[in-house]
Amino acid sequence: MLKNIKSETNRPEVRELLGYADVAGREDEEGLINRYKTDDRLHLYGYEDDGLIVGLLGFESKDQGVTHLHHIAVLPENRLKGYGRGMLLQLIKDFDPRQITADTDEEGAQFFRNLSFTVYGSEDPATGLEYFHCVYNTEDEE
């Protein structure tokens, strides 16, 4: 079950998941948690299974029906069980975005490719590192 976990950021598994989700390591844990707690534009949802948050989605609903994923993660022992895909399907059902976007590394890009996202490779001009912009148009599903 996907649920709002903004008020549950002190749970150990939520902190662990945020650590996995911040692939670029751009924010310290407390800064990231504080941003989710205080920024009303940001949503933090977790997928709970038997009382444990096994996966999370951090996202922002932007203009014109675009939802940008900032973070997605599943606990390592629960990966490859369909939780990531399930969370995205629930996001589409509950929030009805026109488009979902995400920026990620190579491993994340492969996950999004497997879910029929269009993936564009780029280089970060500041760091020279390769990153991937992933786009999924939900209207194409109709």
Tell me how many degrees the CA angle 126-130-134 measures, rounded to the nearest 5.
110
Residue-level pLDDT, tens digit, the chain, 142 residues: 789 999 999 899 998 998 887 655 566 778 888 889 999 999 999 999 999 999 999 999 998 999 999 999 999 999 999 999 999 999 999 999 999 999 988 888 999 999 999 999 988 888 888 889 999 999 765 4
Indicate the pTM of the whole model.
0.87
Question: Which pLDDT does position 19 carry in this prediction?
Answer: 84
Rounded to 10 deg, the angle between the 29-38 and 12-21 helix axes is 100
| Residue 141 confidence (pLDDT) | 54
Cα separation, 73 vs 84, in Å, equals 7
pLDDT at 114: 94
Number of domains in the chain: 1
| Maximal CA-CA distance, the chain | 44
pLDDT for res 140: 64
Q: What is the CATH number of the domain that holds 8?
A: 3.40.630.30
Give residue 88's domain range. 2-141
Torsion angle, alpha carbons of 112, 88, 10, 1, to 10: -140
pLDDT at 46: 96
CA–CA gap between residue 110 and residue 115 (Å, rounded): 9
